[in-house]
Amino acid sequence: MPIRRGEEYLESLRDGRRVWLHGESVDVTAHPGLAGSARSVAGVYDLQHDPAHQDLLTMPSPATGQRVSLAYLLPHSVEDLTRQRKMYEFLVRRTGGTAARLPHHLATVVLGLHDSRDIFGQENPAFAENVTRYFEYCRENDLSIATIFNDPFHHRSHPESKQEYLRVVERRADGIVVRGAKGVGTQAPYANEILCLTQPRPNLQPDEVMYFAVPVNSKGLQLICRSSLTPPNPEDHPLSPHWDEMDAMVLFDNVFIPWDRVFYLRQSHPKDPGLYAQLFQGAMGIGPWYVLVRLAVKAEVLLGICAAMAEYLGTAKQPHVQLALADAILYMETMRAFIHEAESNPVRSPSGLTLPNWTPAQAARIFSIEGYPKMLQMLRELCGSGILMSPNQADMNNPEIGQQIQRYFVGENERTQDMFRMLKLAWEYACDSFGSRQLLFEMYNVASLATNKQRLVGAYDLSPYVRLAKELAGIDGRREA
């Protein structure tokens, strides 16, 4: 099957899946709190058929020659990485950097599994074969994938033995049966399949370690959505009606997984305590680099809003505004420099793929997390109280009050009307529930700031810098030894 069209994607979501929103079982393509994002993802699928974008977004399948998503390109050169980055930049610019789980992003996890297949195969050669077949299946069928790996949030004082995690409860001749839950499945209601990974944590038991894929409409699988952030007045919200990526709890009530969809299981604890982290990081693939590409696009948008508001308000020449704009420029340009460094100095994976350099990519992740809240606060300060009081379209259309709002607040100046449109965009990023969810997502996407810093220090080779410092201090390494 070649690349799908948007309507084919939407039809694939009408498969009897059990999705719950506000206590009601819903059709994600029809419910007003969910349908907007489904239609937006469908629009991304349609872009692949546009002759103007087809070479940017697709490639010939190495198996059939038909067009498939470029997200499944196995990178073997810097040029391949650049090509994938340009594809992803194009897509996330359409979302203002707010859509973090487009089908093209989640394909990177399938690619990561494929790249790490030999490690998975060390436990059982069939696992490596399953990964290869699944990679090809996703590529050839243009699937939308969601990943789950976070365990449900528990009271920290509860003993691990009393906490119920997702686990294998039965091994059969034809597959396994799993029971339990995963805490966060972003975009899961809009996915065709859910890819379950195991994130390392203390006291992880062998029957809790599993990598598998399962169709969303599988018997016993249910998704419980958080409250929808889709506003009742979409005309005043340029982003959230289209890009509220739904997060859902994923429940498994004795869900059957056939063996060909099982990519890793354990019978006992591994001898190498670092194996679980190696598996998880391998599965992430180039996904973290895609996160940086998206955040750099979001930095572009935030800089653009700040500069536009300074122009609309006539404050662009004020010293404190210029200092703020300089900080916004530095944030964006530093992100771009990190991305270029990671892309231009790649590393070889164990299977021979060309991957972005992990060290600058990880440093960029930390930089982006620390800087993002500051960018939002800068945006609020540059907009002032006007960000709160932009007249909404329903009031403007009301015959009783609309003319007075037009007279006293908007006026006939087209620039003033444009300013209010820009303020509504700023509101979505910096103030409302959609923006708050965006902030939370960026701060804890895959791992927290503290965890990312610990990973950087743990993997960084400090010895050349220690050696340089000791030479300058006159410390004899032989005497130390």
Render pLDDT for 327-377 as a digit per residue (tens, 0 to 9).
Answer: 999 999 999 999 999 999 999 998 999 999 999 999 999 999 999 999 999
Are residue 259 and residue 379 in the same domain, yes or no?
no
Q: Note whether residue 452 is domain-resident.
A: yes
* Domain end marker among 236, 255, 284: 284
Are residue 261 and residue 332 in the same domain, yes or no?
no
| Number of domains observed in the structure of the chain | 2
Are residue 323 and residue 381 in the same domain, yes or no?
yes
Q: Per the structure block, which two tokens stand in for 459? A: 């993997």
| 447 DSSP assignment | S
Q: Note whether residue 480 is domain-resident.
A: no
pLDDT in tens, 292-340: 999 999 999 999 999 999 999 999 999 999 999 999 999 999 999 999 9
Helix (H) or strand (E) holding 416, with range, is helix 414-430
Are residue 229 and residue 298 in the same domain, yes or no?
no
In Å, how far from its chain's centre is CA 299? 16
Report percent pLDDT > 90 for the chain.
Answer: 81
Report the C-alpha gap between 86 and 69 in whole angstroms.
13
| 193 DSSP assignment | E
Are residue 407 and residue 341 in the same domain, yes or no?
yes
Report the C-alpha gap between 188 and 222 in whole angstroms.
10
Are residue 412 and residue 324 in the same domain, yes or no?
yes
Q: Note whether residue 479 is domain-resident.
A: no
Report the C-alpha gap between 246 and 475 in whole angstroms.
57
Report the C-alpha gap between 15 and 121 in whole angstroms.
33
Q: Note whether residue 17 is domain-resident.
A: yes
Q: Note whether residue 1 is domain-resident.
A: no
Are residue 292 and residue 306 in the same domain, yes or no?
yes
Nearest alpha carbon to residue 380 among 277, 469, 305, 458 = 305
CA dist list (Å): 51 to 55, 57, 209: 8, 10, 44
Residue 477 has pLDDT above 90, yes or no: no
* Domain end marker among 234, 249, 284: 284
Backbone angles phi, psi at 399, to 5 degrees: -65, -20
**Candidate from 37-46, 71-80, 234-243, 441-450 with smallest mean pLDDT:** 441-450
Q: What is the pLDDT of residue 301?
A: 98
pLDDT in tens, 54-69: 999 999 999 999 999 9
Q: Note whether residue 147 is domain-resident.
A: yes
Query: Which CATH number do you get for residue 278?
Result: 2.40.110.10
Are residue 277 and residue 314 in the same domain, yes or no?
no
User: In the predicted model, what is the mean pLDDT of residues 122-136?
Assistant: 97
**In the structure, what pLDDT confidence band is assigned to residue 1 with cuts at 50, 70 and 90?**
low
Are residue 323 and residue 425 in the same domain, yes or no?
yes
Q: Note whether residue 481 is domain-resident.
A: no
Q: What is the pLDDT of residue 6?
A: 98
Name every residue whose Cβ is closer than 8 Å to that of residue 327 and which is 6 or more positions away in sequence: 374, 378
Give the three-state DSSP class for 102.
coil
| Cβ–Cβ under 8 Å, residues 139 and 103 | no
Helix (H) or strand (E) holding 215, with range, is strand 210-215
pLDDT in tens, 415-462: 888 888 999 999 999 999 999 999 999 999 888 999 999 999 999 999
pLDDT in tens, 250-294: 999 999 999 999 999 998 888 888 899 899 989 988 888 899 999
**In the structure, what pLDDT confidence band is assigned to residue 479 with cuts at 50, 70 and 90?**
low
| Cβ–Cβ under 8 Å, residues 301 and 90 | no
pLDDT in tens, 139-163: 999 999 999 998 887 765 665 556 7
Q: What is the residue whose two structure tokens read 């009530």? A: 253
Q: What is the pLDDT of residue 183?
A: 86
Query: Which CATH number do you get for residue 324?
Result: 1.20.140.10
Report the C-alpha gap between 125 and 174 in whole angstroms.
17
Are residue 217 and residue 301 in the same domain, yes or no?
no
* Domain end marker among 247, 262, 284: 284
Are residue 48 and residue 98 in the same domain, yes or no?
yes
**Candidate from 215-219, 221-225, 392-396, 458-462 with smallest mean pLDDT:** 392-396
User: In the predicted model, what is the mean pLDDT of residues 28-52?
Assistant: 97
Q: Which domain holds residue 81?
A: 6-284
Contacts 24+ apart (CB under 8 A), 355-360: 355/75, 355/81, 355/115, 355/285, 355/286, 355/289, 356/81, 356/286, 356/289, 358/459, 359/456, 359/459, 359/460
Give the three-state DSSP class for 251.
strand
Q: Note whether residue 109 is domain-resident.
A: yes
Q: Which residue has the higher pLDDT, 261 or 404?
A: 261
Report the C-alpha gap between 93 and 107 in whole angstroms.
18
Nearest alpha carbon to residue 121 among 129, 113, 111, 133 = 129
**In the structure, what pLDDT confidence band is assigned to residue 73 with cuts at 50, 70 and 90?**
very high
Are residue 158 and residue 169 in the same domain, yes or no?
yes
Q: What is the pLDDT of residue 125?
A: 96
pLDDT in tens, 88-127: 999 999 999 999 999 999 999 999 999 999 999 999 999 9
Helix (H) or strand (E) holding 84, with range, is helix 78-93
Q: What is the pLDDT of residue 268?
A: 86
User: In the predicted model, what is the mean pLDDT of residues 220-245?
Assistant: 96
